[in-house]
Structure 1
Amino acid sequence: MKLKTKLQLSSMMFLQFFIWGVWYVTMGTYLIKIGFDGLDVGAAYSTINWGAIISPFVIGMVADRFFSAERVLGIMHLSGGIILYFLIQVTDPTAFFWTLLVYALLYMPTLALVNAICFNQMSDTKTQFPPIRVLGTIGWIAAGILISWMKIEDTSMVFQIGAGASILLGVYSFFLPSTPPQNKGKAPSIRDILGLDALALLKDRNFVTFILCSLLISVPLAFYYSFTNPFLNEIGLENAAGKMTLGQGSEFLFLLLMPFFFSRLGVKKMLLIAMVAWVTRYLCFAYGNNEALAPMLYIGIILHGICYDFFFVTGQIYVDQAAPKKVKASAQGFITLITYGLGMLIGSWSSGWFVKQYTLADGSHVWQTIWLIPAGMALIATILFLIFFNDKKNAVTEN
């Protein structure tokens, strides 16, 4: 792959995740400031999950059959930038939800589009993709550092910056390498789009256990994304958004170390370590503070690398190994639907409901109780996985 192409794809990845990271982490803090309650905040975050559920239809019926991926990417980011700009004027919870939902339906399909554009230019994705994809993590970190440095965590300016970056990527997309539709002329199938062919894998008890635990662990994940920044700001941790980028730094490190751990620990141990890390993270948040026990807060943040990489990345590898060749793509789509779609959708709404229940009259929150709830959820998933999943060779074979 030429150096020019590498730079183009790396810049694309940086902007793709900068756009998301610049508003997503701190949105809860901003919404609480303008008078939204916990349920309103949870509803706002659920728009991303609805986008994850619906986005396969967009990719399957439009980008994969009618138009080049880079053009669809450009149109979606240009449109999304306009929506983000107008979002700063919306202060009613219901109107905010529907406006952000429109944006989510535009943004979430672009996550698959940038991957497709990258893969189309690569001869060896295993070695060529990671160094380019990691620029996305760096983009997310840069977004957190920027808004922390500008001290705008609780302002609408995060949406303005996101809008500007989205329009920039929208224009830039039209200059990316050509990625023509892969299934031009082929009639779209709902079964293919939703990955329903992967349901055959449910004959294997290990796969069923993995799917169930993936669903359960995705629920507490939404607690972290929706309310960690409001929590850290409320208890007085300075530059919370910037310090939360320690989690992405940890993710970056453990992503590089994945091959080392995978060869020595195997699937079950890595998934278990991830689940225990989820429990530990929320216990750290529940019992830590911004005084003598401040290190517990940092531990909870830094554990993000293990929580995310050891579970979700390992899970993707497990699914690839478990699925026969003809349903590998469907299986990956199915697990994405279960985790980022259904699981985090439940988590976004339930986290908002619990936060609302534990909001005091003065607007503060009983954070210890709030964080013990996802800790308990993660513990249940861990116990179920420990009992019912084993490391033996999958019964599903290639055919």
Structure 2
Amino acid sequence: MRPMMFRLGSMMFLEFFIWGAWFVTLGTYLGQGPLHADGSQVALAFLSQSIGAILAPFLVGLTADRFFAAQRILGVLHIAGAALLWWASQAPSFPVFLTAIMLYMLLFMPTLALVNSVAMRHMENPEKQFPRVRVIGSIGWIVAGLLIAWLGWEQAHRLELTFRMAGAASLLLGLYAFTLPDTPPLKRDTQTSMGEILGLDSIRLLKSRSYLIFFLASVAICIPLSFYYNFTNPFLNDLGVKGAAGLQSLGQASEVILMLAMPFFFARLGVKTMLALGMAAWVARYVLFAYGNVDTGYALLVGGIILHGICYDFFFVTGQIYTDAKAGPRFRSGAQGFITLATYGVGMLIGTYLSGMVVDHFTVGGVHDWKGIWLVPAAIALVVLLVFLALFKERDVRSAAPEPV
């Protein structure tokens, strides 16, 4: 089984290396590069993620589950994606770039589900083995950031090379995918409803008041989350931080450590405390960013980045565990798809659009008021936290905690 875990881990490493190789520095490339995009245009480019997340269930649900082997679809999507990334790196104008990146994310976002499907189908015990493989994906993201920092592409204003690096890795994964174990469709001879594809059968979970509060909080917390993904790298580069992409990889490093420690914390704190701590970390992160700088406040910047582990794992991973426990075996897959559609689709879409408006509002003569910008998502996260604490009532679901990995 060890060779299989190595093969699946290699797949996961490349998957997240590709994403991290260009996504982290996208805002800096657009705002400070040859395209001279404003905040609203940067947000529009990041909307490609949300649009891809919304449409991904259609592609996976209508093809991988019914007609074609998952590893073959994965290969085709990544090979086509490599060409689109190369095109994006040479785009002479923002509209051309936006077209390329929108098309690319329509192909890439479904691959996130496909790599999970391929991995879990070839594991004897996915509950124990999948976290180990998934962590290798986070390591791929970290390596991409460190490589960009080591090569100095941010300081040299050569971030178009990040798309070419990602394109080369996408071509490699596309070819490698055809060597992965066969993962044929499971529903070839069954009818799949649109509700099943979108996970809408899981809407029954919203009848529970506590789950409804969690669901709405998940959508709302993605609004401040969008500020982090879209504008942290431009913010750090604007302040003069050297190797900003490499510094941001500390966030993924903390995510890896805390992901491995999740069973320990979950068993001792429970779902409400974990979710609340995750939201509180978003408030703290943006306050640290608002008052951080490259001189006396550099530690504040580092602290805000390192909080990513608590921000992401304590809220989103805990939320996945909570959703799994509430849904039960029958609705498990649909429920996870439903919450992903709501957060990375709807929530991130709203947040991305709003973040662009806020950045433009606090930008005068090309100069950003980063303190004002970051205090907006801090306030939003604080409101979400207070409403959640007041309304969320749930029995202890610690029995749903994952086993140690």
Q: Which TM-score band applies after superposition, normalised by the shorter structure?
A: over 0.9
Alignment-derived partner of residue 21 in structure 1:
20
1:32 aligned to 2:36? no
Contact 2:288 2:304 in 1 (8 A): yes
Kindly report which structure 2 residues correspond to 1:250-399, keeping only aligned pairs within 5 A, or say none.
250-361=254-365, 363-392=366-395
Q: Deviations over 1:129-152 (max 9, x none)?
A: 111111100000000000111111
Residue in structure 1 matching 2:199, options 179, 195, 198: 195
CA–CA separation in structure 1 for the residues paired with 2:213 and 2:184: 38
Output the CA distance in 1 between the equivalents of 2:85 and 2:336.
30
- Matched residue type, 1:21: G
Aligned partner letter, 2:7: Q
Which secondary structure does the structure 2 equivalent of 1:323 belong to? helix
The answer as to whether partners of 1:234 and 1:364 remain within 8 angstroms in 2 is: no
8 Å contact from structure 2 (residues 22, 166) kept in 1: yes
Question: The residue matched to 1:65 in structure 2 has which SS?
Answer: coil
Shift of 1:3: 2.1
Matched residue count = 392
| 2:18 counterpart of 1:11 | no
In the alignment, residue 388 of structure 1 is paired with which amino acid? L
* Aligned ranges 1:101-116 → 2 under 5 Å: 101-116=102-117
Contact 1:49 1:345 in 2 (8 A): yes
- TM-superposed CA distance for 1:234, in Å, is 0.3
Deviations 1:88-142 (A, max 9, x none): 1214223322221110010000001001111111111111111111110000000
User: Does the CA contact (< 8 Å) of 2:270 and 2:396 recur in 1?
Assistant: no
Please state whether the residue corresponding to 1:290 is helix, strand or coil.
coil
> 1:364 Cα deviation (Å)?
2.1
AA aligned to 2:28 is T
Change beyond 3 A, Cα 1:295–1:393: closer
RMSD (CA atoms): 1.0
Q: CA deviation at 1:348?
A: 1.1
Structure 1 residues 94-105: aligned runs within 5 Å: 94-105=95-106
- SS of corresponding position for 1:185: coil
Secondary structure, counterpart of 1:237 in structure 2: coil
* 2:280–2:382 contact (8 Å) kept in structure 1: yes
Please tell me the residue identity of whatever aligns with 1:13.
M
Q: Secondary structure at the match of 1:175?
A: coil
1:42-61 residue pairs with structure 2 within 5 A?
42-61=43-62
Q: Deviations over 1:12-52 (max 9, x none)?
A: 00000000000000011010022100000000011011000
TM-score (ref. length: structure 2): 0.95
- Distance between the aligned counterparts of 2:388 and 2:184, measured in 1? 42
Q: Work out the CA distance in 1 between the residues paired with 2:99 and 2:192.
A: 28
Query: Cα gap change, 1:382/1:91 in structure 2, threshold over 3 Å: closer, same or farther?
Result: farther
Measure, in 2, the Cα distance between the counterparts of 1:255 and 1:211: 22
Q: Does 1:233 align with 2:237?
A: yes
Residues 1:172 and 2:173 aligned together: no
Q: Deviations over 1:53-99 (max 9, x none)?
A: 10000000011110100000000000000000011121422332222
1:393, distance to aligned residue in structure 2 (A): 5.6
Letter in 1 for 2:167: A
Output the CA distance in 2 between the equivalents of 1:382 and 1:214. 11
Pick the aligned partner of 1:216 from 220, 223, 227.
220
CA distance in 1, matches of 2:213, 2:73: 37
- Structure 1 match to 2:403: none
Which SS does the other structure have where 2:364 is aligned? coil
Aligned to 1:138: 139
Structure 1: where are the runs of 5+ without partners?
A: 395-399
The amino acid that maps onto 1:343 is G
Structure 1 length-normalised TM? 0.97
For 1:93 and 1:375, the matched residues in 2 are separated by 30
Paired AA for residue 89 in structure 1: Q
Q: Which one-letter code corresponds to 1:53 in the other structure?
A: I
AA paired with 1:379? Answer: L
Rounded Cα–Cα distance in structure 2 between residues aligned with 1:164 and 1:119: 26
Q: Distance in 1 between matches of 2:232 and 2:271?
A: 29
Q: Aligned equivalents of 2:141 and 2:375: distance in 1?
A: 27
Query: 2:70 — aligned with what?
Result: 69
User: What residue in structure 2 maps to residue 397 of structure 1?
Assistant: none
